[in-house]
């Protein structure tokens, strides 16, 4: 029996190959579509997170040059010091506790700051002095301020009354005095006269 080949049976094989190739192409073509469709859904939270992170990062960078950040940095670098504001000394001041300092032994450093003069006569100008105490005086001042919180006190330096003020917060090794310019000059004279090694 002789088998003769005709072109007829070849077409189905080719068409089968074409169908298989077409199916493979469609399958391959559908993969990127699925990947693209799935990628935004799967990647949406990280993308949103990254987007939010970018906003946070840019937000964190934006204020770095602003004055609010500078003010915060200044506040961090220079904390607010407790301040004794001079008041008029009452006529009968016998009941007011006194705290005595000796310039050479107790005072480590003085700093001076002139507040803005808004139409105030020069003789009435008050200045702010930052006073730093040595260790022994720091401990005494801390104990004294705790004991006499919210009470008036008189600060004496080398036997001279410098100011009377109400203690509003705990005082320690560094605090401020707000006092008339003349009293401040007297305080500086006392301290400078005794400048030198602690005795």
pLDDT tens track for 48-89: 544 544 454 444 454 445 555 444 555 456 679 999 999 988
The CA-atom distances, in angstroms, between 178 and each of 58, 162, 184, 193, 196 are: 43, 11, 9, 22, 25
The residues near 96 (Cβ < 8 Å, ≥ 6 apart) are: 89, 90, 152, 153, 154, 164
Q: Containing H/E element for 18?
A: helix 7-61
**Tens digits of per-residue pLDDT, 116-159?**
566 555 556 899 999 999 999 999 999 999 999 999 999 999 99
Region 19-39 average pLDDT: 46
Q: How far apart are CA 89 and CA 180, in angstroms?
A: 13
Inter-residue contact 172 to 144 (CB < 8 Å):
no
176-186 b/e (C-beta count within 10 Å ≥ 16 → b): bbbbeeebbeb
pTM: 0.57
Inter-residue contact 146 to 156 (CB < 8 Å):
no
């Amino acid at each position: 029996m002789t088998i003769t080949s005709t072109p007829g049976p070849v077409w189905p094989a080719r068409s089968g190959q074409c169908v298989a190739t077409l199916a493979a192409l469609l399958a391959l073509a559908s993969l990127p579509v699925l990947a693209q469709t799935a990628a935004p859904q799967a990647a949406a939270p990280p993308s949103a997170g990254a987007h939010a992170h970018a906003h946070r990062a840019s937000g964190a960078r934006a204020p770095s040059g602003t004055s609010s950040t500078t003010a915060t940095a200044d506040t961090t670098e220079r904390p607010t010091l407790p301040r004794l504001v001079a008041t008029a000394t009452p006529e009968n001041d016998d009941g007011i506790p006194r705290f005595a300092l000796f310039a050479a032994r107790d005072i480590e450093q003085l700093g001076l700051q002139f507040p803005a003069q808004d139409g105030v006569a020069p003789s009435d100008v008050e200045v702010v002095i930052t006073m730093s105490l040595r260790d022994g005086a720091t401990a005494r001042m801390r104990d004294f301020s705790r004991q006499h919180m919210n009470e008036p006190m008189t600060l004496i330096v080398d036997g001279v009354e410098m100011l009377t003020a109400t203690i509003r917060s705990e005082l320690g090794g560094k605090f401020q005095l707000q006092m008339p310019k003349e009293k401040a000059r007297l305080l500086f004279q006392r301290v400078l006269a005794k400048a030198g090694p602690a005795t």
